[in-house]
Amino acid sequence: MLSIPRITSALIALFSVMSCPSHATDAPKRPRVVGDWWQVAGDPDLGGLTRKDQQPVDFAVWQAADGTWQLWSCIRGTGESGKTRLFHHWEGAKLTDSNWKPQGVVLHADSGLGETPGGLQAPYVFRSGGIFRMFYGDWVNICSATSKDGKTFERYLLPGGRPALFDEGAGRNPNDIEVIKSGGNNARDPMVIRIGKLWYCYYAAEPTLHCAVYCRTSDDLIHWSGSRVVASGGQAGDGPVSAECPFVVELEPGQFYLFRTQHYGENEQTSVYFSRDPMDFGVDHDEGHFVCRIPLAAPEIINSGGRYYIAALLPSLKGIRIARLDWVVEP
C-alpha cells in the first residue's frame, strides 16, 4: 500500500502532466469577443439607388498603403438593376475608431465583362508582393481585381477579357428551376490565405441548394486547382445558407479555424471548426472539428499589431461593427 505522501506525490505528478503547456497549446481554442463593439459603418446614402430595405452585408476590412483602414461592403436590396447589389466604401483613420467616413459607391457589376447585373457579392482584400488583391463574387464566378494603393481597384482581366477566375458549375441538375433562379451553384464569399507554398481560396457554393465550403489552391493567384468540399453538413445544417462567409485563421502553425455562418439578423449564428488539415473541417459530420457557435454573422478576423479583432454585421443588418477578440482554452 502506498503511503499518503507517496499518493500525494503521484497525484501532483499526474496533474502536472495534465496541465503541461504542450497539452494546452495543442488543445483547440475558442474565439471570445472582448469588451464592447464599436460601429464603423451604417446604412449608406446611395443617391438615386437608395432603398428603404437595403442592407449592408458581406464585407472586407484592410489597411491601405497610407495606413488608413478601408471597408467595402456589398449592399443588397438597392435600386441597382438585376440582383440589386453593389459595393460601397468607407475609410477610417484607425481600426479602433467609430463611424468611418463613407466614400460612396465604388463598384457596379459589369455585364459587358460577363458579370451578372447587380450580382456583386462579398469582397475580400489582402496584400501580396506589394499589390493589393481583391477577390469577389459576381453571383456565378469568383473574380479578382488589383490595386497599388489599396484604395482604387481595377478588375484583373484574364485572356478572353473577363475577370472570372473560376465558378462552381451550373448545378448538378440544370433543369431544377430553383437552381436556375439562384444563379447555378452561386460561388460566392471568397477569402484567401497563404499556407506554405500555396494560396488557398475558400468560398461558399450551393449545388442543388445544399451549401458547403469549397477550397481551391494556386501558386500564382491566377491558375487554380479543381474544387474540393472542405466543410458541410453537421450541426450547422445542409440548407442553401448553412455554410456562408467562410473565413479561415491559422492561429498557430498547423492549427486552423474555420468560421461559417448559418443565420443573419436577430437569430445570427456562426459555427467555428478546428482542423490540422486546411482541406478538411468536417464533411457531413462535426466529429473532431466543431468548436462552438457564436451569435454573429459574416465575421472577418483581423490581426493588427499582434492583436486580434473581429468584424461582423449588426443584428439589424443596417451596419458593420468591430470588437476585440481573444482565443481561450475552456473545459
| pLDDT at 17 (0 to 100) | 34
Residue that has been written with the C-alpha cell 472539428 in this structure? 289
Of 272, 229, 230, the residue nearest 251 (C-alpha): 272
With a CB cutoff of 8 Å and minimum separation 6, the contacts of 183 are: 83, 116, 119, 139, 140
* pTM of the complete model: 0.89
Q: What is the pLDDT of residue 84?
A: 98
Q: Per-residue pLDDT tens for 244-263?
A: 999 999 999 999 999 999 99
Query: Structural domain boundaries of the chain?
Result: 30-328
Question: Grid coordinates standing for 329?
Answer: 482554452
Q: In this predicted model, what pLDDT tens digit does every residue of 25-45 receive, in sequence order?
A: 578 999 999 999 999 999 999
pLDDT at residue 178, as a whole number? 46
Q: Flag residues of the chain having pLDDT under 50.
A: 1-24, 171-183
- pLDDT in the model for residue 209: 85
| Helix locations, the chain, DSSP H | 4-18, 21-26, 177-182
Q: Please give the torsion angle defined by the CA atoms of residues 262, 88, 119 and 191, in that order, rounded to the nearest 10 degrees.
A: -50
Q: What is the pLDDT of residue 235?
A: 95
What is the 3-state secondary structure of 187-224?
Answer: CEEEEEEEECCEEEEEEEECHHHCCEEEEEEECCCCCC
Classified by CATH at the fold level, domain 30-328 comes out as Tachylectin-2; Chain A (2.115.10)
pLDDT for the residue 168: 93
Secondary structure class of 317 (helix, strand, coil): coil
| Single-letter amino acid, residue 62 | W
The mean pLDDT of the chain is 90
Model pLDDT, residue 313: 98
CB 166 within 8 A of CB 141: yes
**pLDDT confidence of residue 207:** 85
pLDDT of residue 27: 83
H or E element in which residue 301 lies: strand 300-304
